[in-house]
Amino acid sequence: MAVDLKGILSPFSALKQGVKPPHTVRFPREKKETAERYRGLHFNDLEECIGCGSCATICQNEAIDMIKIEGFETKDGDSGLRPRVDNGRCCWCALCVDVCPTGSLSLTKDYIYVTDDPNAFLWTPGVDNPDGKEKISFTSEEGKPLLDYQRIPMRELEGMERVKSFAEVVLGYDEEEARKEAARCVGCGICTEVCPVHMHIPEYIFAIGRGEDEAAIKIIYDNNPLGETCGKVCTRRCETVCAISKRGEPVAIRWLKRYATERANNADLIEEIVNPEILPPNGHSVGIIGAGPSGLTAAYYLSLRGFDVTIYEAKDKPGGMIMYGIPKYRLPLESIEKQVGYMQKMGVKIKYNTAVGKDITFNEIKEKHEAVLIGIGFEKPYELGINGEDAEGSIQAINFLRMVNSERPVDIGDKVVVVGGGNVAIDAARVSRRLGAEVTILYRRRVEDMPADWEEIEGAEDEGVVIHPQAIPLEILTDENNHVKAIKYANAEMIPDPNGGRPRPKIIEGDEHIIEVTAVIAAIGQGADYSFIPEDIMEKIETKRGRIVVNEKQQTSVPWIFASGDIANFRADAISAIADGYRAVKGIEELLLKKEK
Amino acid sequence: MREKETTLYLGPQHPGVTGNMMVKLKVAGDTVVKAETHVGYLHRAFEKLMEVRSWMQCFPIVCRICVPEPDPNEENLARAVEEIEGREVPERAKYIRVMVLELARMASILLWMGGQSGSAGLYTMPQWSVGDRDYILDLFEELTGGRVYHMYIWPGGVRRDLPEGFEDRVLKTLDYLESRLPDYDHLMFENAIFQKRAKGVGVIPKEKALEWGVVGPPLRGCGIKHDVRIDEPYEVYDKLDFIVPTYEGGDVWARAMVRRQEFEQSISIIRQVIEKMPKGDYYNKVPNPFNWIVPPGEAYVKTESVRGEFGYYVVSDGSLKPRRIHVRGAAYVHGVSLLEKILVGANIADVSFIMNSLGVCPPEIER
Ligand code: SF4
Ligand code: SF4
């Protein structure tokens, strides 16, 4: 066999390698810089993180636990928890980083981490590496976002088209839009915490996203029988804390709820879909004063639990403030009637045109029922307290809205000034536009201080309402027939509060102006009227700043009397009223069923 | 007189075994009489795990099916999901994917050079080739954030765009690796001892190769031209110019020569990719991972991995999670039925050597 000389000699050429420098890095004498996007240890910007837990959910190794750490408390929009990574399980895929909606989570440049602490593999990013910020390498900023930060826009009637009628402004999502919008949710549930009634938001959104609208409706009705109302007019605290809102537009929770609930377009269909369990009658009877959102909610769930419930309502229609206080272009009459119609099918009895204290006495109600829930709302408007207020053409916004909503004639002429900055003021202004008037809003503070929803404010502006901030009305001027002729106001400057509170408006001396008007609508707030409650009982009910004091189950200092809605909470919105009603059910149940045992 | 048979367990912990598996050998003297592959030492149930993971969560799992060359797993999962969804992939992403796949092939071949020569007692080679492989891992680190598990190719494209000036650094690395080829040749491929060990050893009969389901370099080492990149081109392989090397003989040597030439082909492919790669988008975003539903359907996709044809069968029932993901790697044949057949008659000292030449990857056997 021939000798393969080349094959024997050529390997020896490797010897030349001996004189070349090695290509290895002699650590720690030499260091190797990591690449810009190296996926090293986790870092979390603890202040930015909201504890949504999306990182923990996506981690397929279940390497992340959400834990309580010192210095971070649970508050609105922040669970107070922070991720802790088990480096024994982590595979450094950085999916947690890519899905973190706030962008607080990242990976650092650390190649090597040496410690003598055997428990250090349990790693709380940001706590265990407070200096991690300087070493950040892999971030979600760099790539294309994995989450959808853009909201599916809501179709609306065009601004000047709207003022021609009371047609609903918001047109609602169609099926495809709803599915897409729902699919943006990360399901963290941060919203659930701030919702006064703790609706199962991620659950119903998920159902909508999957095309299971009926399941969504069922979930919504689990703790809110006025889901459709909320879907149209809720103040939606949930959206303000939505995890997606940190880097994008919050999920349109309200519009999704609206989409789902509107699918059931009559009371029979709601019944068919929700098909709730109704317990047999338990022999207990509850009287509810006021068919507003809190009273209706309590009545519905009490009925399902076998109570005999009667609502006493002074007016001829249900809904209270949502019927009379919210303009039809936001919440059509049929919608309320449909929702209440369903409740009546479930056994809720409503006596209309029955004003307590007039058509029936409070004591009579007391005789008839074992427990009474008062949910009368704030119906008594505050006065402006200026001269000329009682003139013809000077009206209170809620009276005005009520008249318009019940289709009674109101003459406001063609030039209206609305005083106030809350939702009621904006509603009054937008309704006035629809009645053909030019509208100016006078508001004491700055636009950004207005308590109204920003969407409502924008809506009003789109429709041609002029907002005049930092304007304080001084006097209403009248003509010889004692009819409103003009309003005199002064401009104000904002004085910072030395105690760090809201800046206060202060009149600028001499900067006074007069606007000619045909009507002045006052919308600076309302209070309650308790005159129907007999004095001896009222004496025993504890009140505070015009509101009735209740415990966490809405019970007053008189055990058989419960209170809910605007008279019992400071939030003055429908969803808080609904939450009160829901809580009152528990209180009443406990009171009456415990008595039995 | 018949020689006494002894049972010998090679592995599961053995430097010559390519991963955690065991070959139960019956030997008579130094000759293998029977070989049986035993797996079960690292079963991580990838396939089953994915049935209880969301689609996005499957993405970081699949790379772990193969340490030396994880990327074909990512590629397969991505292409299967894209096929079921009908999702378009931006052109640029397709080029980037090919670049990643070929870099991975080169890194694997370097690792194989180390293993193949190491199992023949040639210990200088692994030091060179594994060291040089690290230059490719540097590129991966820069591109993907990870050296070994890249988690980079995902449904819709790739996870991040190329960093500034990355192409130049790739070209520089390719130049360097190309300049190393003569060194490798001198040390390994021209080496008389290596040739002697490799020639005529571990022979796969050409006429049986297809029947036995042999793929990749072992098949091409039987002189049969078969390569998914050419036969059923995916991504942009049809726009690139390259050859599929074959070699006659069916032995370890033939397989080695095939891989040696493939290494050069990969260099050429990547250079073409860099030249032709368009600018533009690199990722056609999938839906929010928390709500990502893949429509009902199924897909079988395959990629030419360094070990050969590598398939994924993916089924969606229209839910948030896959109904079934089945992984079919080359090692399933090469490490079980093929290995058991061609070890018979081999010398014990050649067992690891033959195993290395087949590219046996245990996690591909037990997924
Ligand atoms: S996903 Fe981001 S914001 Fe949410 S808990 Fe994790 S680190 Fe915090
Ligand atoms: S990097 Fe991946 S494995 Fe590690 S904690 Fe994040 S999601 Fe989990």
What lies within 8 Å, CB to CB, of B242 at 6+ separation is B229, B265, B268, B269, B272
Superfamily of domain A279-379+551-596: FAD/NAD(P)-binding domain (3.50.50.60)
Segment A263-267 mean pLDDT: 91
Q: Which amino acid is at B201?
A: V
Cis peptide bond upstream of A498, omega within 30: no
Nearest to A45 by CA among A141, A148, A151, A122: A141
Q: Give the span between the Cα atoms of A230 and A236, in whole angstroms.
A: 8
Longest alpha-carbon distance in chain A: 134
Helical H segments across A305-422, by residue range: 321-324, 333-345, 362-368, 397-405
Dump strand ranges (E) for chain B: 5-10, 22-28, 31-38, 153-154, 157-158, 297-305, 308-316, 322-328
The alpha carbon of residue A232 is apart from the nearest alpha carbon of chain B, in Å, by 25
CB A143 within 8 A of CB B252: no
The residue whose CA has the least distance to atom 8 of ligand 1 is A49
Nearest to A239 by CA among A170, A322, A323, A181: A181
Nearest to B248 by CA among B200, B296, B314, B210: B200
By CB atoms closer than 10 A (0-12, 13-18, 19+), residue B27 is buried
Distances (CA, A) of A54 to A123, A228, A244: 17, 29, 11
Sequence length of chain A is: 597
Q: Is A261 in the pocket of ligand 1 (CB under 6 A)?
A: no
> CA angle, A422 as apex, A419 and A427 as ends, to 5°?
80
Segment A69-83 mean pLDDT: 92
Residues of A in contact with B60 (CB under 8 A): 60, 91, 93, 95
Q: Is A102 in the pocket of ligand 1 (CB under 6 A)?
A: yes
Q: Is A95 in the pocket of ligand 2 (CB under 6 A)?
A: yes
User: Which tokens is B287 given?
Assistant: 């839906």
A106 touches chain B (CB under 8 A): no
Query: What residue spans define the domains of chain A?
Result: 42-138, 159-273, 279-379+551-596, 381-525
A34 touches chain B (CB under 8 A): yes
Cis peptide bond upstream of B60, omega within 30: no
Strand A122-123 vs strand A81-86: parallel, antiparallel, or unpaired? antiparallel
Residues of A in contact with B137 (CB under 8 A): none
Strand A122-123 vs strand A371-374: parallel, antiparallel, or unpaired? unpaired
Domains A42-138 and A159-273 share a fold: no
Segment A30-53 mean pLDDT: 94
In angstroms, what is the span from residue A266 Cα to ligand 2's centroid?
48
Which residue in this structure is represented by tokens 């916004």?
Answer: A397
Residues of A in contact with B283 (CB under 8 A): 143-144
> CA angle, B151 as apex, B147 and A115 as ends, to 5°?
50
pLDDT of the residue at A33: 87
CB A60 within 8 A of CB B168: no
In the Cβ-directed half-sphere of A234, how many Cα atoms lie within 13 Å?
A: 28
What is the DSSP code (8-state) at residue B336? I
Segment A174-198 mean pLDDT: 94
**Residues A92, B146: C-beta atoms closer than 8 Å:** yes
- DSSP assignment of A306-339, as one string? T-EEEEE-SSSSS-THHHHTS-TTTS-HHHHHHH
pLDDT tens-digit profile of A413-464? 999 999 999 989 999 999 999 999 999 999 999 999 998 888 889 999 999 9
Q: Give the span between the Cα atoms of B354 and B344, in whole angstroms.
A: 11
Confidence of residue A483 (pLDDT cuts 50, 70, 90): very high
- Name residue A181's beta-bridge partners: none
Q: Which amino acid is at A544?
A: K
pLDDT of the residue at A1: 55
Nearest-by-Cβ selection for A23 from B49, B131, B144 = B131
User: Which tokens is A597 given?
Assistant: 């045992």
User: Which tokens is B90 given?
Assistant: 């931006």
B325 touches chain A (CB under 8 A): no
Dump strand ranges (E) for A161-297: 285-289
pLDDT of the residue at A596: 61
Backbone φ and ψ of B55, nearest 5°: -55, -45
User: Which CATH architecture fits A381-525?
Assistant: 3-Layer(bba) Sandwich (3.50)
Distances (CA, A) of B161 to A304, B88, B92, B279: 58, 17, 9, 10
Q: Which helix (H) or strand (E) holds A526?
A: strand A526-527
pLDDT tens-digit profile of A40-49? 999 999 999 9
Q: Give the span between the Cα atoms of B290 and B159, in whole angstroms.
A: 17
Helical H segments across B189-251, by residue range: 192-198, 206-209, 216-220, 228-231
User: Which CATH architecture fits A42-138?
Assistant: 2-Layer Sandwich (3.30)
Task: For a ligand 1 pocket test, name from A79, A100, A244 the mutation site with the most ligand atoms within 8 angstroms of its C-beta.
Answer: A100
How confident is the prediction for chain A on average, in pLDDT? Answer: 92
Region of poorest pLDDT, from A270-284, A327-341, B184-198, B265-279: A327-341
Q: Is A125 in the pocket of ligand 1 (CB under 6 A)?
A: no
- Name residue A467's beta-bridge partners: A441
Dump strand ranges (E) for A164-231: none
Strand A105-108 vs strand A42-44: parallel, antiparallel, or unpaired? antiparallel
Q: Is A94 in the pocket of ligand 2 (CB under 6 A)?
A: yes
CB A338 within 8 A of CB A217: no
Segment A246-250 mean pLDDT: 93
Q: Is A97 in the pocket of ligand 1 (CB under 6 A)?
A: no
Per-position b or e across A222-233, b if 16+ CB within 10 A of its CB = bbbbbbbbbbbb
Q: Which helix (H) or strand (E) holds A42?
A: strand A42-44
Q: Give the span between the Cα atoms of B63 and B68, in whole angstroms.
A: 10
Q: Which helix (H) or strand (E) holds A505?
A: strand A504-516
More confident residue, A114 or A285: A285
Q: Give the span between the Cα atoms of A72 and A242, in whole angstroms.
A: 19
Task: For a ligand 1 pocket test, name from A69, A97, A105 the mutation site with the most ligand atoms within 8 angstroms of its C-beta.
Answer: A105
Q: Give the span between the Cα atoms of A325 and B315, in whole angstroms.
A: 54
Q: Please give the average pLDDT of every successive group of 10 residues along chain B, which has 367 residues.
A: 84 82 92 92 86 96 91 97 97 98 97 93 92 96 96 97 96 97 94 93 94 95 96 96 96 96 98 97 95 96 96 96 94 91 94 92 83
CB B42 within 8 A of CB B17: no
pLDDT of the residue at B16: 79
Q: Is A93 in the pocket of ligand 2 (CB under 6 A)?
A: yes
Please report the residues numbered 42 through 61 in chain A whose beta carbons come closer than 8 angstroms to any beta carbon of chain B. Answer: 54, 57-58, 60
Nearest-by-Cβ selection for A91 from B56, B149, B160 = B149
pLDDT of the residue at A595: 64
The whole-model pTM stands at 0.86
- Name residue B170's beta-bridge partners: none
Q: Give the span between the Cα atoms of B29 and A258, in whole angstroms.
A: 82
> What structural domains and CATH numbers belong to chain B?
5-366 (1.10.645.10)
Per-position b or e across A280-318, b if 16+ CB within 10 A of its CB = eeeebbbbbbbbbbbbbbbbbbbbbbbbbbbbbbbbebb
Nearest to B213 by CA among B309, B314, B76, B344: B309
User: Which tokens is A343 given?
Assistant: 């409740």
Predicted complex ipTM exceeds 0.95: no
pLDDT of the residue at A597: 57
The alpha carbon of residue A10 is apart from the nearest alpha carbon of chain B, in Å, by 5
Work out the percent of chain A whose per-residue pLDDT is above 70. Answer: 99
Q: Give the span between the Cα atoms of A514 and A500, in whole angstroms.
A: 33
Superfamily of domain A159-273: Alpha-helical ferredoxin (1.10.1060.10)
Segment A378-388 mean pLDDT: 89
pLDDT of the residue at A94: 96
pLDDT of the residue at B2: 67
Q: Give the span between the Cα atoms of A167 and B300, in whole angstroms.
A: 54
Which residue in this structure is represented by tokens 């528990």?
Answer: A586
B253 touches chain A (CB under 8 A): no
The residue whose CA has the least distance to atom 5 of ligand 1 is A51
Q: Under DSSP, is residue A566 helix (H, G, I), strand (E, B) or coil?
A: helix
Q: Give the span between the Cα atoms of A366 and B341, in whole angstroms.
A: 94
pLDDT of the residue at B1: 56
In angstroms, what is the span from residue A390 Cα to ligand 2's centroid?
68
